[in-house]
């Protein structure tokens, strides 16, 4: 079983990811992986080793969470490139710094390109 899913365009926050996994995997984690550290791939490894005993919804949700969080990280890395032209066009005079440009782009979202808006949304920064 591979727990790395495909990347989708939609992303969820870390708190949403934790809540989803707690709901669908909580009982299985307590039962089969009670002393496993949640970071560093240890939980993935534990669930993989016991895949035949784990609730299928837990496995599906885990794959979706991993894909979503990977997509969020990729979107965060891509925002600068995706929004460079929009920032130049709509945010002239904005103080230097990514947070200032982000605030400007979010304020101008009605005219900002779909590519930039999508990158900001998928990054979780709107």
Task: Identify whether 106 is part of a domain.
Answer: yes
Please state the pTM of the whole predicted model. Answer: 0.71
Within the chain, residue ranges assigned H as helices are: 14-32, 42-49, 56-90, 98-107, 114-123
Task: Identify whether 74 is part of a domain.
Answer: yes
Task: Identify whether 4 is part of a domain.
Answer: no
Its domain, for residue 63, covers 14-123
Mean pLDDT of all residues in 8-27: 84
Task: Identify whether 5 is part of a domain.
Answer: no
pLDDT at 2 over 90: no
Task: Identify whether 58 is part of a domain.
Answer: yes
pLDDT at 1 over 60: no
Q: Name the residue with higher pLDDT: 2 or 100.
A: 100
Task: Identify whether 2 is part of a domain.
Answer: no
Task: Identify whether 118 is part of a domain.
Answer: yes
Q: How many domains does the chain have?
A: 1
Per-residue model confidence as pLDDT tens digits over 68-110: 989 899 989 999 999 999 999 999 998 877 788 899 999 998 9
pLDDT band at 10, cuts 50/70/90? low
Task: Identify whether 88 is part of a domain.
Answer: yes
Of 52, 64, 85, nearest in space to 11 by CA: 64
Of 120, 27, 37, nearest in space to 80 by CA: 120
């Amino acid at each position: 079983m591979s727990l790395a899913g495909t990347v989708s365009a939609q992303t969820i926050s870390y708190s949403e990811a934790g809540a989803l996994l707690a709901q669908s995997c909580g009982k299985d984690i307590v039962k089969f992986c009670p002393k496993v550290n949640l970071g560093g791939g240890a939980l993935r490894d534990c669930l993989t080793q016991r895949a035949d005993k784990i609730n299928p919804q837990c496995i599906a949700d885990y794959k979706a969470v991993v894909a979503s969080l990977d997509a969020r990280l990729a979107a965060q890395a891509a925002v600068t490139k995706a929004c460079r032209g929009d920032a130049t066009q709509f945010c002239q005079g904005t103080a230097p710094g990514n947070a200032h440009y982000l605030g400007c782009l979010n304020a101008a979202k009605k005219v900002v390109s779909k590519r930039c808006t999508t990158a900001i949304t998928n990054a979780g920064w709107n």
